[in-house]
Structure formats: C-alpha cells, structure tokens
Structure 1
Amino acid sequence: MGLRVPFSCSLASLKHFIPIVIVTFGLTFIFHSFAATPAVNKPHPKIVLISLDGATPPLLDRYFATGVLDKRKGLGFLQSQGLVAKQNQTITPSLTAPAHIAIGTGSTAARNDINANSFHLVASPFKQNISGFAAPIGGYSVGIDGPLDDHTQTAESLWIALRNNGKKVVAATFPGADGLDIKIPGLADSPIVQPASDRTVDYTVPFGAFGGVGARGFSFTAADFSDAASEIIQQLTTAGRSSFSPVKVTTLETIPASGSGSLTGGGGSYNLQVAAIDTSNDKAVNYDTLIIFDADRGIQPRASQPPATGSAYLKASDRTSSLFYFEGSTNKVGTSFYVTQLASDLSQVRLARYSANYIPRNQAVLADVDDANNNVGFWVPQPDFRIPERISSGFDDFPDLELEAIYQDQVRTFVDYQTRIALRAIARNSDADLVLTYIEQPDGSGHQFLITDPRQATDFRDPNSIANNQDREKIERYQKYLRSAYRAANTAVQQIIKAVGTNKRGRPNSNIIVVSDHGFAPFHTAVSLNNYLSSLGFDNTKVRAITSGPAVNIYINLQGREPDGTVSKAEYVTLQQQLVNALAKFTDTNPNYTAGSKSVAIFDKIYARPIPNDPSDRNFGLDTGEFIGQDSGDVFAIMRLGYNFDGTQTPVVQRLGDPASETPLLSVPNFYGAHGYDPELPEMSAIFYAAGPDIGTGTIKRVRNIDIAPTILRILGVQPAPTVEGDPVNLGRA
C-alpha cells in the first residue's frame, strides 16, 4: 500500500525563496516557497482533473528530454510549477474502464465491480455481456441476498460525496458520468440497479456513441463522374462557390432511413453525392476540391451554427477532414469526410467517410448534451483502428500512407473536439469545485503505432516481417505518429491551463491534476483463447471466456446464480480447477518469439474465485477476493507481456515458425500496443502531474490511481466514503 507520512509544516508564511528537501519512507518532496501574492478575482474551478488515456512516464520523459514536447507548456509547465510522480500505479487489470472507475471511486476493480472493458454480470443470462463503461459502479444485489435493487454499494463515485456536501461537479466525457439508468442485460423487467442520479453531476456530457454507420472508403476514376445538372451548378453559385472547369458529379452512397446500414436516430434516408470543382484560375483542368452533399437538400454553404455544417468541402491540399451533419437526425448524428487522393483530371480519386457518431441523449443530462451540440458541435469521429487495419469496407486499395494520414487527421480533430468540450464545460461552470475531463489520446495511437519489439511484424499480413526483416522506415513513421499524439494531448492540457489562468507567481489558478489510467507495452502475438479451450474439450455452454486486451474473465454457468445456470456446485469445483490448470500449462515454444527460452508461459497471473468449504453456503459462486469481484470471472487471468487476446485477423495470419492449423492458438496481430497487464510492471505505470494553489513543488516517488479520489476529497474538505481504499497524496502547500 505504501507509507503516507503527513506533511507537518506549512510553507505559506515563508517570505523568501527557500529550497526544502524532505525525505520520507518512499516519498521525496522538493518544495519551493514564493512570496505571497494577491489572489486573482476571475472565477475558476477549484480542481480540474484531466485524464490522458494511456500516457506513460518513460515516453513523456524522453519527449521532454529530446524537445519533442515544450517544457514550458502543458505537462512541462505543470512539472515546473508543481509535483510529478515517478510512478502512478494503476490497478488490476490495467484497462481503461476499470482504471477510470478506480480513479473516480478510490477503489480497486474487485471492490468497484468494474473488472474489464467488457464482462458478464452474473445476474444476467449466461451469454450476455455488459460494457465496463455502462455497468453498475459498486455492484448490485444478485437477488440471492435480497431484491436486485436493494444493495449497499461496495464503491461510490467521488462526485456523490461531493454533491452531498454542496460541492459543484462537472464531467466532460469522463467515464461513469453519463446520466444512464443501469439495468441487468438480458433480464426481463430488470429493475434499475444504479439510477441515473448516481451517474449525473451538475454539468454532464457523456462520451459519444456509434451512430450505426461505420467508416467506408471510396475509389473513383474520371469515368465515374458526369457533368453536373444545371440545378447543382445553381446551388453551387448560391453557396458562393464557382468552378473554372465543368462541374462533375458522381453518386457516393445512399444511407437508408431504416434497417441495416441506417443511422441510429436518423432523419430519413440520405442520398449522398460528390461534386468535383476546379477553384484554380490557371486556364487548365485542375480539379482540386470535392463537395459532399445530400442530393435531397442540394449543395449548401458552410453552416456557422452547430450542429449544422452545410455541405462538406474538401480541398485536397488542406489535408484535413470536413464535418458533415445529418440534417434532421433526432440523435444529432454527424460524420466527417477526408480526401486522400485527388488527381487533377479525376483519373484517381480516393476519399473516406468516417463513422457516424453522436452524444448519447440520456434524459437526465439532455440539457447539457444539447448545450454541447449547439455550442461545440456533434460528436466528431474518434481515431478509428478499423481504417488503418482495413477492417472497414472500401479501404483495401488505399496505400498505407493514406490510411495513416486519415488516422492522424482523426487524432488531431478528435483531441481538439474533446478539448473544446472541456473548455465549454469550464466556461459554463467557472465556479465548479471539480471538473473531470477525459482525452482519448495518446491511447489510440499507442495501440496502433507502438512498434519497439523485433518480434512484431511490421507488415501484419506478412509473418516474415519480424527481426531483420522489419520495415525500419515504417517504424520511424510510427514513432513520429506517436510523438504527434503526445503533442496533441499536451496541447489539450495547455489549453485548459490557459482557460483557468495563472496567478502572479505563474501557477495555475485552479488545482490541475493530470493522470493517465495505465501505461503501454508492445505485443507480438494474438491469442485465441476460445480455440485453446475448445481444443481441451471445454463445453462453451458451461464455460465462457470474455477477453479485454490481455485480461480474461472465464465464467462457469452456475445453477442458482445465472438465471439459466446449468452447472452444479460439484461440477463447478471441478471445472474451475481444470480451467486454472489449463491456463497454467498454456505455453509458447516457438523460438522466434520466446527470446531464447525453450518455453514461455503465456499467462502471468491466474486467480480463482474463492470457494466456501460448505457447498450449501449461500455465497457459493459469489465470494470475492483481492482480485476477484462480484462479477469477475470464476477464473480471472492476465497474460504476460507480448501476448494479447485482441488483434486476431480474419483470415488468421499464422506466425513465422508455427505449425499450420485451421484453428491456430497463436497468430500475427494487426496492431501493436496493449495494456491490461500486471500493474506492478513498469510498462503499465500511469502518469501523475499536479500544480495549483494547494499543491507544492517537487517529485513524488509513487502514487496510485486509487489515491486520486481521496486526494481531491481532502482538498475540498469532504470526508471520503468508507469504501475508499486509497490514501490522499501528500501534496504539500504552494
């Protein structure tokens, strides 16, 4: 747990610059005092907590040391004006949903009952899953010890205690604050097991949702285009546009009003077309701009009032996407378009439509959602791994560089959008006690571009592209993309610092705390656990594995627990031990991947749900432990570094040196970075930066993500809930 020694002396009364070094057990603080200055009168939040998903200390240290990141801005500024932790230990498992709920509750996954990004509630039918981002925080009664809605939670979001004590809380896309009523999936007439009131704060903007239409690539030649009709030319003129070559038009796609391929909460069908125009008055045919429009509405000028956008205008030389709002959509759905190739004679045209998205219009937070839509805009598409991995349709003939350009555009535009959501939340609530905000990068880029291991295939379709056959140019490109993601995230922090302002001593007016949820590590092998369990004869009606990254919850369909349970208690005991044994003996013997060892155990940690000595114990199948929560698997396990359940390709690409198989257990993955491993590993360390009126300066050896909530509560003078497991970080005084 680590020893927390209280800081016993105040520096506020010192009038001269005096460096002080205090060494405690496991903690080192270096503080500086400054002459007191008058407080700034401009309103600003007391605390702003920013989560940069997947940011890691080693990469940040390297980027600051090499000048990739400016030490005067963002995290560099916070480091110079406040505290930085050498290590911020995340939780088991080091996954996004569990780690963020741990940050928000001060409790581990086994206590807060959010044990993975996707898992099974044992009160659900056996085949049902739930998202870790929309599951009951702190658990619920499974109906054995009382009604489903009669339950004392084992963890509590910190905003509940704050609001109960009259504090004002704002959440801008922070996990767990979404205004949802949570029910049991698959259970008929399920009661609400966590009400929206527990997931709603004073200003709540939920994270966005998929709008029902996935990304798609389009390829055209000049033969696909025809001369535009006179009404389209008139629409173009009315929109204030002109072309120095004949306007050309082709059909893009039709998005139906209902059924497969339709928008979630759309406003009818959308007949999308693309017009090509020449804006260069050079007396030559030189098409340089594409306009995406709905044929039923015609070409529209750019709209200035969100969420409307008008038609999407794409100038090839701009190398940026253009937003497109689906007019009339009840969910306020939108997308973006990006042109990757536009030959001046239209002989080769490639463009991408990103996925459709919207902010969930949960009734409890509808006013805040509308505020975001009307002032910032609809939820813009986030970085989409399905495009560079060619999972989405239409991208097979796009060169790698074009797909990478698309992803980089999504990184830039989505971080900018999330930042503007946060700035809107702060502007609307400058008197907030706590602002919680979340930035998706650099996580997405870490998954996509982290090639640092010679065992990683730089061409995921070619198992030979490892070791000396790796593409060094591609590795360098990927390192550049990762640096760009960190710059984008750091810029977001800087913009928030600028919004709250600084005092005469140059420190932020608000206490700004920046953390990440986990670190990152490269992986080289995708693992099919279902193939492995099937090869050993496990019955998938009795045993089911749900994976998240390198972590897995394996459930046994226990009678009396799952509504459709079929496994007796006696068989449960046997199956659980068989599963533990099976995972323990799962090894990799391919010398191309075992780093000189004859055999490498694939699983690093294996935990079994405790079993009561008395089979008639009413808690049979419900007992918990340090790493097993109420809705964890009956066996929970984490793989060692280098292996990941995600990334299996269709069709499977077998690794170099593995025996041919129709159902391979191990294969070449189609992306490169992962998290979810043992949180004790240095690769999984998160970040911690803090500066502000209530924060000293210096270095902390180690904090934990479960310490963030009690630290915030202490600053605001609110007693933590009894369920909080973390300890306040000793911040000193500025």
Structure 2
Amino acid sequence: MIVALCLLALFLSSCQTPAPSSPGKGKKARRVVLLSLDGLAATRHRQLLEAQAYKDPEGLSSFSRYGFAPREAVPPNPTLTAVSHATIATAQLPQDHGIVANRFHLPVTPLGATVSGFDHPWQAESLWAAVRRQGGKVGVVTFPGCDGTTPERRADFFMVYVNQPASRPRWVELTAAGPGETLQLEVSLNLRGQEEKVSFPLVVQSPAAGGGAPQLLVGDGAQKQAVEVGQWFALRVKRPHPDGGEQTIGAWCLLVEIQLQPLRVVLYQGGFYAVEAQPRAFRELVEREAGFWPGPPDDRALEAGLRGERGLSLSQYGAQLARFSSFFTAATLAAVRHMDFDLLLTYQPVVDEAQHALLFTDPRQPGFSEGLSKTSGEFLDWTYQVADRAVGQLARALDLAQDALVVVSDHGIHPVWAQINLQALLEKEGLCGLRREGERESLSPDCRLWAVQGGGVAHLYANLAAPEPTGLAAGPAREKLLLLATEALARLEAAGDKALEAVAPREKAQTWGLAHPYSGDLVVFPKPGIGLGGRPGDPLLSAPPYAGMHGFLNHHPSMAAVFLARGAGVPQKAPARVPLTQVAPFVTELLGLSAPGQ
C-alpha cells in the first residue's frame, strides 16, 4: 500500500506544470547589461581598432582582449532600426516577429494607412518578457520595443525614448533699450496636450570698466548663471507629473550674439523635453543623476549651418551629441548603481544620428568636397570615440568578475547620393493616381498599387478586393498587377545605371526573412547609395535628405553590425560572422534561463 501511494505521488508530481526557473540556476553571470549602440558599423569599428583610435582601455577595444569579439554581426533584412532591434530582442527574423520595416501597412486597414515599426506589437516574445516570465528582474534605459504601452512592452523599471518636445528648437531674437533691462523669453510648452506659456527673465550685464565681454544673466537669485557668447546654458521649469511627483522640463540653449547699443540678444533655444520613466522612484532617480532629457542633436540646424545659413556649427552640433550620450550613460549608471535587476537593456543613438547627417565619402553625393569628407570623417571617428567612452564608463561600473557586458549595434551605414520616389514611378505607369486636398496630395481611391518606402527598402502594397476595404480588383488580378510593376521597376535607372538590386513578391521573400503578411505584395531593395523615399507628388529622382542611410540588403559589408561581450561566463572567441538572432539566446544563457519563446 505504501509503495502504491509513493508511486501515485511520483506520477502526479510528474504531471504537474514545472515552476518557472529562477535566475541563479545554472547562472554564469550575476547581472547582464545589454547596450545597443545604434548604427555602429563593423567596418568603421575595425578601422578604428586597427588605428588604435579608441582611447578608453575598458571601452570598445577591450572586447578583443578579454571576451567575445566576432569580426562582424549580421543584421536582418531590411537593415533598419525597428527591424533589427526586434530581431535582437526576440531572436527571430521579421517573418516571425512581424516588424518588416520602420513603417509598413497592415492588411484590412485604409488605403495609405501605415503603422510605425517602433510602436506596433511584436508577434514574438521579447528578451525582457522571457526573463520576467522566468522570475528575473529587468530594467530598460530606453530600448526600441519597450515603451510601456502594453504589459508585453514593459519591464520592472524602464525609461522610454521621448520623441516629441514640449517646445521645438528655434532661433530667438530679443531686444530692449539697453543693458540692465530685463528681457523676457516667452516659451509655449505643450504639456500632455495642454498649452502653457512660460517666461524666463534674462538680463544683459555690460562688461566692467577694465574690459571683458558682456554676459547674459540667466535665472533668479542663487540659481543665476552668467553666460557669454558661444556658451550653452539650461532653462528649466518644474511641473506636477501624473505619477504624483514633480517633473523637470528643460532645454539647452546657446547664446549666439549680444549687441549692446541698441540691445539685441540672439539665442538658439533647444527643444524642451522631460524624462518619462516608470515607476516614479526610477524617474526621479534618473532626473537626479542624469538631469532632464536633453533631446537629440539638431540635424536641421546643422544642415543650415553647413550651407552657410543661420544654423549650428559642427562643434556646436557635437556639443549636443556629446550631451545626449552623457545623459544616456548617466541614466544607465544610475540604474547599475541603485536598481535591482538581473538584466538591464540600454541604448545610445548618437552614432546613427551623426552618420545620417555627415557620412560624406562618395563624390556623387550632393555637396561633397574633399574638405567636407575629411572634416566629417574626423567628426564621425570622434563620435565612435564618444561611444567608446560610454562603454568604458559602463564597464568600470560593473564587477565583470560577476557581471557581463554585451554590446551590439543594429546595422551599419552607407553613403547615399540619390533618392528615388517609387510612388512617382507608380503614378507615371498608371498604377496609382493622386488627388489634391488643399496644398496636400494623397492617394486616389482608384490607386491599384502604392509604396511605403524608407531608406534602403520599399514595400509595395496591392489594393485588392479580398484583403483591403477599398480594394478594386479580385485576387487573380494581383499577378498581372505585380508583373506590370516588376517590369517598370526593372527599367528604373539612376545616373545611367540600374537603380534597384532586388525585387520579389511577398511569397518569395523568405530568403530575406520577409515572408510575412505585413510585407508588401512586392518587396524592393535599391542598390546601396540610392535611398527610397518621398511623398505623393514629389519627383521621381531627387537629392537625398540625408548623407548616410541603411536598410539595404544585409550581405553588403557596409551594413554589418557589431556583437561584443565580456565578463562573467563570456567565452573568449572571435568568430568571423554571427547573426543578431544569436544575441537573445547568448544573454539568457548567461543568466541560466531559456531563450525567448522557449
């Protein structure tokens, strides 16, 4: 009887659902920090390694000495930020996680409607969800896909990327009768949909009798700061936050000019931003340790400055970029030092920001000159050194005898010399008409094929009756429609050469990892150097609005990313190529957990 009861108990216990594994069981690292350096290209990274240009001994050069350092990492197709980060965090290709571009169309939604690849839900489990499911604690200091909008897109504590400023950057001129008078800088802030006028008092102080430069006094009382021309200063206001605490909204501004008689002050007012993070204690920690969200470097102001118009110089743009990187680093260090976690994901966008604006290496690029190429190249090398310093600071904050640091990027970069608007081609071929609504042109309801394009990829969607609410043709017409479009695309040229590298229908896009219902009926990849973009009504061929771009097919060396690791449990290896699908399993193995989806 006793034996029978024991056997019954053993049988019942074997049928029960096993409890989630807890971090620590088979764990190789106490904590893992995963840092994504957006746009850090493997090709430039190798060049800087060979030139011994990285200065921080604990930075990007340390991985080849102490850890896991493949020659390059292979991103998914298309090589875009939203797509690659979904692959990094899920270990899946776009045909499995559903993010097929930075922007794409969903079936059974209106003609011309698109969604953001950064905001749309993933169809595969994320790294942070997998670790939390297995009992681990996860923090995020911004990472594409973790924005707090759903339970699947949350961590135990997290900061989100703030895209929209409360007030946009602008140039301001203030005048008064003479020095000593108080100038009022009026700013209109949009705080969660509510407009509020804020005034900042500014006073010009004349130079002393012994000489010197006039100064601008900013702030009140003990907080007053004396600023000279060419210096940056911060403007801040405090307002209640919905979480019950107080929030700082601030902007970094540049004093451009002071004229005394008559009094005239010229300022560059940066965008006003605030930190958004949860829970309240973490948000307040970030504000205390890193300050308010400073906003990204101002590409438009830099472009104006490079054209000789009123704008930012390269050094002023660099100050914005370094400040943005320092903010992310300080916020990450605050989490490392004060928060409890098994996995921390963090992100830095500054390399990608700079490369889009300043990658001038092809003489065919508009505005190219040898001087600009040299100056911008040196600036981009410096940007990689900024990333190097951030990695070094993070490495020193960790105990790499117990912790592990994993550094990845999502794609490389390629110089772009032309932009093709496929929507204009479809209009020219009679496949899609336009209608004018005031000053704006949009797709006509009789459009049969339309393009969602961006960078190195385009998705062309057929307006068919079966899946689309405004569809014009039955399913059998699709094959003929796609054939007409494919023939037109094959004839497309730029500077006397074929413009496109590859065109395939959705059902044949599995080779690229794009056989998903969200992909276009046709998927189009241009040759590197040619970007795809433009709005309805824009010309077929134009100068690109950026110097560098990605999204091109991942076999091109310029699109290669990085995947580096060092610390507890990390093998010392240097394989030639590793796909970014291996990042998430690599991280969970260090934590002694199963990979996402397993």
Q: Post-superposition shift, 1:482?
A: 0.8
What SS does the aligned partner of 1:352 have? strand
* 2:162 aligned partner, one-letter code: G
Contact kept in structure 2, 1:225 and 1:250, CA below 8 Å: yes
Find the counterpart in structure 2 of residue 323 from structure 1.
234
- Greater helix percent: which structure? 2
Percent identity, please.
Answer: 25
Partners of 2:221 and 2:84 in 1: how far apart? 44
Partners of 1:522 and 1:89 in 2: how far apart? 19
Find the counterpart in structure 1 of residue 525 from structure 2.
638
Q: 1:624 to 1:683 in 2, by over 3 A?
A: closer
Find the counterpart in structure 2 of residue 480 from structure 1.
378
Q: Deviation string for 1:543-600 (max 9, x for gaps)?
A: 3312221211222233343444444323333323322222222112x3xxxxxxxx42
The equivalent position to 2:144 in structure 1, one of 175, 192, 215, is 175
Find the counterpart in structure 2 of residue 234 from structure 1.
none
Q: 1:87 to 1:277 in 2, by over 3 A?
A: same
Contact kept in structure 2, 1:52 and 1:438, CA below 8 Å: yes
Contact kept in structure 1, 2:30 and 2:591, CA below 8 Å: no
State the TM-score, normalized to the length of structure 1: 0.69
Q: Post-superposition shift, 1:502?
A: 4.4
Q: Deviation string for 1:99-130 (max 9, x for gaps)?
A: 01100000111211111112222243233222
1:578 aligns with 2:484: yes
Moved more, 445-454 or 536-545: 536-545
1:603 aligns with 2:512: no
Partners of 2:282 and 2:468 in 1: how far apart? 37
Partners of 1:274 and 1:397 in 2: how far apart? 29
Find the counterpart in structure 1 of residue 290 from structure 2.
376
* 1:200 aligned partner, one-letter code: R
1:563-574 matched pairs, under 5 angstroms? 563-574=469-480
Q: 1:112 to 1:284 in 2, by over 3 A?
A: same
Q: Post-superposition shift, 1:388?
A: 1.8
Partners of 1:721 and 1:516 in 2: how far apart? 19
Q: Deviation string for 1:68-124 (max 9, x for gaps)?
A: 312623111222211211110001000011101100000111211111112222243
Q: Deviation string for 1:168-198 (max 9, x for gaps)?
A: 2111101111111xxxxxxxxxxxxxxx111
Q: 1:174 to 1:300 in 2, by over 3 A?
A: farther
Contact kept in structure 2, 1:215 and 1:354, CA below 8 Å: yes
Find the counterpart in structure 1 of residue 437 from structure 2.
none
* 1:561 aligned partner, one-letter code: P
Find the counterpart in structure 2 of residue 614 from structure 1.
none
Find the counterpart in structure 1 of residue 314 from structure 2.
404
Find the counterpart in structure 2 of residue 695 from structure 1.
570
Aligned-residue Cα RMSD (Å) equals 3.1
1:668 aligns with 2:527: no
Poorly superposed stretches of 4+, deviation over 6 Å? 344-348, 622-625
Q: 1:607 to 1:274 in 2, by over 3 A?
A: farther
What SS does the aligned partner of 1:474 have? helix
1:510-525 matched pairs, under 5 angstroms? 510-525=403-418
Q: Post-superposition shift, 1:433?
A: 1.8
Partners of 2:99 and 2:280 in 1: how far apart? 25
1:287 aligns with 2:214: yes
1:127-526 matched pairs, under 5 angstroms? 127-138=112-123, 155-180=124-149, 196-219=150-173, 224-227=175-178, 246-255=179-188, 262-265=190-193, 268-272=196-200, 274-278=202-206, 281-284=208-211, 286-289=213-216, 291=218, 299=220, 301-302=222-223, 314-316=227-229, 319=231, 321-328=232-239, 330=241, 332=247, 333-342=249-258, 349-360=265-276, 368-390=282-304, 398-399=309-310, 402-430=312-340, 432-458=341-367, 466=368, 470=369, 472-503=370-401, 509-526=402-419
Q: 1:406 to 1:249 in 2, by over 3 A?
A: farther
Q: 1:285 to 1:73 in 2, by over 3 A?
A: closer
* 1:247 aligned partner, one-letter code: G
Contact kept in structure 1, 2:451 and 2:460, CA below 8 Å: yes
Partners of 1:381 and 1:71 in 2: how far apart? 26
- Greater strand percent: which structure? 2
What SS does the aligned partner of 1:79 have? helix
Partners of 1:370 and 1:125 in 2: how far apart? 42
What SS does the aligned partner of 1:569 have? coil
Q: Post-superposition shift, 1:64?
A: 2.9
Q: Which structure's relative contact order is higher, taking Cα pairs within 8 Å and 6+ residues apart? A: 2
Partners of 1:453 and 1:51 in 2: how far apart? 28
Partners of 2:228 and 2:86 in 1: how far apart? 42
Partners of 1:327 and 1:550 in 2: how far apart? 42
Q: Deviation string for 1:476-526 (max 9, x for gaps)?
A: 2212221221111111111111111344xxxxx421111100011111112
Find the counterpart in structure 2 of residue 60 from structure 1.
45
Contact kept in structure 2, 1:526 and 1:667, CA below 8 Å: yes
Contact kept in structure 2, 1:64 and 1:71, CA below 8 Å: no
Q: 1:483 to 1:366 in 2, by over 3 A?
A: same
Q: 1:679 to 1:572 in 2, by over 3 A?
A: same
Q: Post-superposition shift, 1:265?
A: 4.5
Contact kept in structure 2, 1:267 and 1:326, CA below 8 Å: no
What SS does the aligned partner of 2:507 have? coil
What SS does the aligned partner of 1:103 have? helix
State the TM-score, normalized to the length of structure 2: 0.84
Contact kept in structure 2, 1:624 and 1:630, CA below 8 Å: no
Find the counterpart in structure 2 of residue 715 from structure 1.
590
Q: Post-superposition shift, 1:531?
A: 1.9
Q: Post-superposition shift, 1:263?
A: 4.6
Contact kept in structure 2, 1:357 and 1:380, CA below 8 Å: yes
Q: 1:104 to 1:425 in 2, by over 3 A?
A: same
Q: Post-superposition shift, 1:134?
A: 0.8
Q: Post-superposition shift, 1:213?
A: 2.8
Partners of 1:226 and 1:498 in 2: how far apart? 54
1:531-570 matched pairs, under 5 angstroms? 531-539=424-432, 540=443, 541=445, 542=447, 543-570=449-476
What SS does the aligned partner of 1:699 have? coil
What SS does the aligned partner of 2:390 have? helix
Q: Post-superposition shift, 1:474?
A: 2.4
Q: Post-superposition shift, 1:249?
A: 4.2
Contact kept in structure 2, 1:277 and 1:289, CA below 8 Å: yes
Find the counterpart in structure 1 of residue 516 from structure 2.
629
* 2:130 aligned partner, one-letter code: A
Unaligned runs of 5+ in 1: 1-43, 139-154, 181-195, 228-245, 257-261, 294-298, 303-310, 459-465, 504-508, 591-598, 612-621, 651-661, 724-734
Q: 1:88 to 1:271 in 2, by over 3 A?
A: same
Partners of 2:226 and 2:486 in 1: how far apart? 57
Partners of 1:398 and 1:649 in 2: how far apart? 26
Q: Post-superposition shift, 1:45?
A: 5.1
What SS does the aligned partner of 1:636 have? strand
Tell me how many residue pairs correspond in the alignment.
552
* 2:151 aligned partner, one-letter code: S
Contact kept in structure 2, 1:205 and 1:365, CA below 8 Å: no
Partners of 1:45 and 1:288 in 2: how far apart? 52
Q: Post-superposition shift, 1:59?
A: 1.4
Partners of 1:66 and 1:340 in 2: how far apart? 37
